[in-house]
Amino acid sequence: MNFDLNKEQCAWREKVRDFAEKEVKPLARYNDENQHFDTELTLKMGRVGLLGMTVPKDYGGLGLDNLSYIIAVEELARVDGSTAATIAADNSLGIGPIKDYGTEEQKRKYLPQLCKDRLWGFGLTESDAGSDSRGTKTTATPIGDQWVLEGEKIFITNSATPITLGTTVQAVSGMKDGKLEFTALLVENGMEGFEQTPMDDKMMWRASNTGKLVFNKVRLSHEHILGAVGEGSHLMLATLDAGRLSIAAMGLGCAQGAYEMALDYSKQRVQFGKPVSKFQAVAFKLADMAVQIDAARGLLYKACWLKDQGRSYGKEAAMAKLYCSEVAATVCDNAVQVMGGHGLLKAYDMERFYRDQRILQIGEGTSEILRLVISRAIGC
Ligand SMILES: Cc1cc2nc3c(=O)[nH]c(=O)nc-3n(C[C@H](O)[C@H](O)[C@H](O)COP(=O)(O)OP(=O)(O)OC[C@H]3O[C@@H](n4cnc5c(N)ncnc54)[C@H](O)[C@@H]3O)c2cc1C
């Protein structure tokens, strides 16, 4: 067994950490306060290869393995949840399905732009379809040689930015054996009848773009169908399996950043004549954080390794997402405690980390749904 990252993965971590420290961290508080989706920063991230990391070089990506991608998300989340969310949602949910299920023509059309300077969304959630995606009401109706799309989506990350190219949308396309049949469609921003509105005033990820989408008789041709007609649900749910690794990486990075902040603060803050890190009650909190973070990293990297080996990883991805997001919650809570009142001030980044971790137990499978997935996988 070898627990070391290889030379390329180590160099990649260093490169992303350097970028995160120099380019992301200085802007994070301002962007959060102002709910500012930072187009310039996103374009800069495109220039260092953070868009389309696992896309083969042939289509304009870096051709990295999944673990390297996860390391990049972890490093971004170590300084800012919103920026990590933009990159993770784009790579796994936006680009992922086109890379994995697109025709050669679709890949040539979209991937080079998406690896450079455009974003793509993943449109599953609706008002009546959250955890239960079979509650989808958006419809795709075949009329002549076209499909007509009608309905609405909510909570779609990256779908309403100035550089969004489009969104993959799940729609009901008919019935088979008495059951609803779903199809995934590639819907481009700018198409007639397609509207995107930012959903503002979130508690967390305030600098990440979240959109409401309306499809008012949007006309699509057969080239806009991703995968086969009727295969949409399978394709969207398989994408979420991979997406769970990204959310886990955000939890791990968030916990790491919060822990480092608390450790640093505890060594500088003097009470009763000594640094608070010297009080056992504080030191033990920090020790627990270190243990939880290491365990979370082990679980996540193992799931990535399985994926990189081409082995089944659904159960492990669910475990990693569940555990890393809960570790992020515990670590952030204890990190605030270690920092006392200062941890609650907006002048310290800890307050933002405390808010940003909260989504991680909800997005891409709530903790309750993940426990359901894991309990089924272990034969309950
Ligand atoms: C900032 C943000 C970004 C997002 N980005 C995207 C995106 O890019 N694309 C996208 O499609 N969606 C996105 N989402 C939606 C997200 O995936 C959903 O919020 C999530 O799937 C949960 O759905 P829901 O909010 O409707 O909760 P619900 O499904 O209504 O759940 C409510 C509660 O009931 C519980 N529950 C539901 N069913 C069960 C069950 N069978 N057993 C036990 N408990 C259950 C849940 O765990 C939860 O506690 C985003 C959400 C947010 C907030």
**CATH code of residue 73:** 1.10.540.10
pLDDT band at 204 (very low <50, low <70, confident <90, very high): very high
- Residue 345 sits in the same domain as residue 270: yes
Residue 358: DSSP 8-state: G
- Residues 323 and 303: their CA atoms lie apart, in Å, by 12
- Residues 284 and 268: their CA atoms lie apart, in Å, by 17
Closest residue by Cα to residue 318 from 375, 265, 273, 358:
375
Ligand 1 center to 3 CA (angstroms): 34
- Residue 291 sits in the same domain as residue 347: yes
Stretch 163-182: mean pLDDT = 96
2 within domain boundaries: no
1 within domain boundaries: no
- Residue 253 sits in the same domain as residue 298: yes
SS3 196: strand
272 within domain boundaries: yes
Domain count, the chain: 3
295 within domain boundaries: yes
70 within domain boundaries: yes
- Residue 238 sits in the same domain as residue 338: yes
Stretch 243-253: mean pLDDT = 97
What are the Cα distances from residue 193, in Å, to 187, 214, 365?
11, 8, 30
- Residues 168 and 363: their CA atoms lie apart, in Å, by 17
280 within domain boundaries: yes
Stretch 184-205: mean pLDDT = 97
- Residue 85 sits in the same domain as residue 181: no
Contact assessment for residue 104 and residue 46, using Cβ atoms and an 8 Å cutoff: no
Over the stretch 78-104, which tens digit does the pLDDT of each residue have? 999 999 999 999 999 999 999 999 999
202 within domain boundaries: yes
Stretch 117-145: mean pLDDT = 97
What are the Cα distances from residue 75, in Å, to 10, 70, 134, 250?
12, 9, 35, 9
Q: Are strands 179-188 and 194-198 parallel, antiparallel or unpaired?
A: unpaired
**CATH code of residue 300:** 1.20.140.10
Q: Is 363 in the pocket of ligand 1 (CB under 6 A)?
A: yes
Query: What pLDDT, on a 0 to 100 scale, did the predictor assign at position 246?
Result: 97
Ligand 1 center to 126 CA (angstroms): 10
Closest residue by Cα to residue 167 from 128, 195, 200, 206:
195
The DSSP result for 92-161, as a single string, is IIIIHHHHHH--HHHHHHHHHHHTTT-EEEEE--BTTBSS-GGG---EEEEETTEEEEEEEEEEEETTTS
What are the Cα distances from residue 162, in Å, to 84, 90, 139, 269?
18, 14, 26, 44
Over the stretch 214-243, which tens digit does the pLDDT of each residue have? 999 999 999 999 999 999 999 999 999 889
- Residue 115 sits in the same domain as residue 135: no
155 within domain boundaries: yes
Q: Is 366 in the pocket of ligand 1 (CB under 6 A)?
A: yes
Query: What pLDDT, on a 0 to 100 scale, did the predictor assign at position 2?
Result: 86
Q: Whose CA is nearest to atom 30 of ligand 1?
A: 130
Stretch 182-195: mean pLDDT = 98
Domain hosting 290: range is 234-377
Pocket test for ligand 1, best of 131, 158, 170, 233 (most atoms within 8 A of CB): 131
Q: Is 210 in the pocket of ligand 1 (CB under 6 A)?
A: yes
pLDDT > 70: percent of the chain? 100
Query: What pLDDT, on a 0 to 100 scale, did the predictor assign at position 236?
Result: 97
Strand partners, 238: none
- Residues 302 and 2: their CA atoms lie apart, in Å, by 11
- Residue 31 sits in the same domain as residue 134: no
SS3 370: helix
**Is the pLDDT reported for residue 345 higher than 90?**
yes
- Residue 220 sits in the same domain as residue 245: no
Q: What is the mean pLDDT of the chain?
A: 97
- Residue 177 sits in the same domain as residue 46: no
Query: What pLDDT, on a 0 to 100 scale, did the predictor assign at position 155?
Result: 98
Q: Is the pTM value of this prediction over 0.95? A: yes
Q: Whose CA is nearest to atom 37 of ligand 1?
A: 131
- Residues 247 and 256: their CA atoms lie apart, in Å, by 14
Q: Is 156 in the pocket of ligand 1 (CB under 6 A)?
A: yes
Over the stretch 141-162, which tens digit does the pLDDT of each residue have? 999 999 999 999 999 999 999 9
pLDDT > 90: percent of the chain? 98
Stretch 283-310: mean pLDDT = 97
SS3 174: strand
H-type alpha helices, the chain: 7-19, 25-33, 39-47, 66-77, 81-88, 96-101, 104-114, 232-268, 280-308, 314-339, 350-356, 367-377
Contact assessment for residue 19 and residue 195, using Cβ atoms and an 8 Å cutoff: no
Q: Is 237 in the pocket of ligand 1 (CB under 6 A)?
A: no
Residue that terminates a domain, selected from 119, 136, 153? 119
- Residue 84 sits in the same domain as residue 126: no
Strand partners, 185: 169, 225
- Residue 205 sits in the same domain as residue 244: no
At residue 314, what are phi and psi to the nearest 5 degrees?
-60, -50
Residue that terminates a domain, selected from 81, 97, 119? 119
Query: What pLDDT, on a 0 to 100 scale, did the predictor assign at position 1?
Result: 83
Query: What pLDDT, on a 0 to 100 scale, did the predictor assign at position 169?
Result: 98
Q: Looking up tokens 């990189």, which residue turns up?
A: 308
Quickly count: other Cβ atoms within 10 Å of residue 315's Cβ: 16
Query: What pLDDT, on a 0 to 100 scale, did the predictor assign at position 337?
Result: 98
What are the Cα distances from residue 100, in Å, to 56, 228, 237, 238?
11, 13, 13, 10
364 has catalytic annotation: yes
- Residue 265 sits in the same domain as residue 362: yes
Closest residue by Cα to residue 276 from 222, 207, 226, 339:
339
**Is the pLDDT reported for residue 18 higher than 90?**
yes
**CATH code of residue 127:** 2.40.110.10
Ligand 1 center to 245 CA (angstroms): 17
Over the stretch 270-282, which tens digit does the pLDDT of each residue have? 999 999 999 999 9
Q: Give Cα 28 distance to the centre of its chain.
A: 17
Ligand 1 center to 366 CA (angstroms): 6
Residue that terminates a domain, selected from 94, 119, 144? 119
Contact assessment for residue 73 and residue 249, using Cβ atoms and an 8 Å cutoff: yes
Ligand 1 atom closest to the CA of 159, numbered from 1: 8
pLDDT band at 17 (very low <50, low <70, confident <90, very high): very high
Ligand 1 atom closest to the CA of 131, numbered from 1: 29
Ligand 1 center to 130 CA (angstroms): 5
